[in-house]
Structure 1
Amino acid sequence: MIDKVIKIAEKASIEILKIYEDNNFKITIKDDDSPVTRADLASNKLIIEGLNQISDYPIITEETPISYEIRKNWRKFWLVDPLDGTKDFISKNGEFTINIALIENNKPILGVVYIPITNDVYYAKKGGGAYKNNSRIFNNSKRKDLIGSDSNFHSTEETKEFFIKHNITQINKYGSSIKICKLAEGLIDIYPRFNGTKEWDIAASHIIANEANCKIIDLNTKEELVYNKRNIKNNFFIATRNNLILY
């Protein structure tokens, strides 16, 4: 199934890049003050059509959220961000992704993160390892001089204070799900997030991280993030390799 999901992401990527190169984004602002472009909507349509062709599982996307009363008993469903990093897309820095995850019993069991600009794809399924393109990725770093990561557009004072507290001086900034994918590759050691994300922002990269010897810890529960909550906002979290505890 994962090969079919990658093909769906590739098709959505082609449509996103057409709009990216055309520059006619048609930006509107949603109720939560986040931007949406016609690329988000075009990708959303293609992904929903594609997923409906390969399974009967229900679909939640950033552009088509579902009320908790409808989804609360769903055991298995798709969770999609058709264009993660809309601000990165609008700024034309290339650091936006397509995120497609399959959730089972509140945890991701399959994830695809596709980067349209580079045609790189990260993917994983539970128990099957994590990959970038056709190469296995695994974070076995034991670096003592830690490399942190932060968002291009969503950095906070708490994040800066965290890095100072833990003497982390090298901080690599990336957009969208790329940060967690870089963690899975072993190129960074830790990514703290102290402001708002939604479940569809993280789910696909979460299983990739887990299969690459990494974890994403909810700072409220001190456990891995879970999905299909009543409120689809994630609590603040720290993504890090398994052999590192800084929370």
Structure 2
Amino acid sequence: MIVSSELKTAIEASLKAGKAIMQVYDTAFDVELKDDKSPLTEADKRANDVINSFLTPTETPIISEENKQTDYTVRKTWKTCWIVDPVDGTKEFIKRNGEFTVNIALVNNRKPILGVIYVPAVKTLYFANVKEKKAFKTHLESHDVTVETIVELAKPLQPKNGNSDKVEVVGSRSHMSQETLGFIEQIKKKGKSVEIVSKGSSLKFCLVAEGNADVYPRYAPTMEWDTAAGQAICNAVGIDVLSYETNEPLLYNKENLLNPWFVVSK
């Protein structure tokens, strides 16, 4: 795989952000509440600063959960932009369960074209180039490895073929929405058995992309930075991320950065 300069930058940014996150993870950190009542830690701030230090020199504008958002009158003129979540799964981070990620995507004409998801607690990296139709997973020894080493160690992602009588659905084992229960009932009516697979943060997309689940229905609010990198990784291996409203792929840099409900499947 040829790693473009943009993908190389995104990978390097994610690793350095991951290192900064883990330095906070191993301390007694404080938790603040933002205006929308979502939690914020020192890890979110440090990771955002690190990522901005890598992406700002590219001169491509950035939409990050932790940046002040640029007004849509300006944003709508952007053909290309970065979409970033410095710590996706802050609640998972606070619980210290390891299921939090760094999400970095490059979007062109409102569609993700590159995606990086880094899981710093276990040093696992997912990355994809949608145009090349290639996505990979690498287990690292350290946050400080080179991109060349990452590419050497990388294994291609392979989704399931979907021919099994058992359908693995990504969802919450503890609290399932009525809509998700209805979705599962529709699968069962086709004579298939259903197994629930649970993960935090953008790892839900990775489960489908790497063949550890068949489908991820999302009947709950998400923001663009929660999904852009995951969508790039899925799209690169032929998996769709479709809006329930339009049955079309999720689009980015919208006036309202809130996503519609969606489903991730082949």
Q: TM-score range by the shorter chain?
A: over 0.9
Contact 1:127 1:211 (8 Å CA) reproduced:
yes
TM-score for both structures, normalised by structure 1: 0.92
2:146 is the counterpart of 1:106 = no
Contact 1:140 1:213 (8 Å CA) reproduced:
no
Partner of 1:52: 56
CA deviation string 1:46-72 (max 9, x = no partner): 00011123x110111001122212201
Partner of 1:132: 137
Contact 1:87 1:153 (8 Å CA) reproduced:
no
Partner of 1:214: 239
For residues 1-247 of structure 1, the aligned pairs below 5 Å read: 1=5, 2-24=7-29, 26-53=30-57, 55-64=58-67, 65-128=69-132, 129-133=134-138, 134-142=154-162, 143-151=164-172, 155-167=176-188, 169-241=194-266
Change in 2 beyond 3 A, CA 1:152/1:40: farther
Instruction: Tell which deviates more after alignment, 29-38 or 193-202.
Output: 29-38
The number of equivalent residue pairs is: 239
User: In the aligned structure 2, how far is the partner of 1:154 from the partner of 1:106?
Assistant: 32
- Aligned CA RMSD, in angstroms, stands at 1.5
Q: Secondary structure at the match of 1:109?
A: strand
User: In the aligned structure 1, how far is the partner of 2:175 from the partner of 2:80?
Assistant: 31
CA deviation string 1:121-158 (max 9, x = no partner): 11111222111120111214222311000147874232
Structure showing greater radius of gyration is 2
Structure 1's unaligned 5+ residue stretches are: 242-247
TM-score for both structures, normalised by structure 2: 0.86
Q: Secondary structure at the match of 1:39?
A: helix
User: In the aligned structure 1, how far is the partner of 2:40 from the partner of 2:173?
Assistant: 18
Give the C-alpha shift of residue 7 in structure 1: 1.3
User: In the aligned structure 1, how far is the partner of 2:23 from the partner of 2:220?
Assistant: 31
Amino acid paired to 1:57: T
Instruction: Tell which deviates more after alignment, 141-150 or 174-183.
Output: 141-150
Change in 2 beyond 3 A, CA 1:151/1:15: farther
User: In the aligned structure 2, how far is the partner of 1:238 from the partner of 1:232?
Assistant: 18
User: In the aligned structure 1, how far is the partner of 2:174 from the partner of 2:109?
Assistant: 32
User: In the aligned structure 2, how far is the partner of 1:153 from the partner of 1:228?
Assistant: 33
Structure 2's unaligned 5+ residue stretches are: 139-153
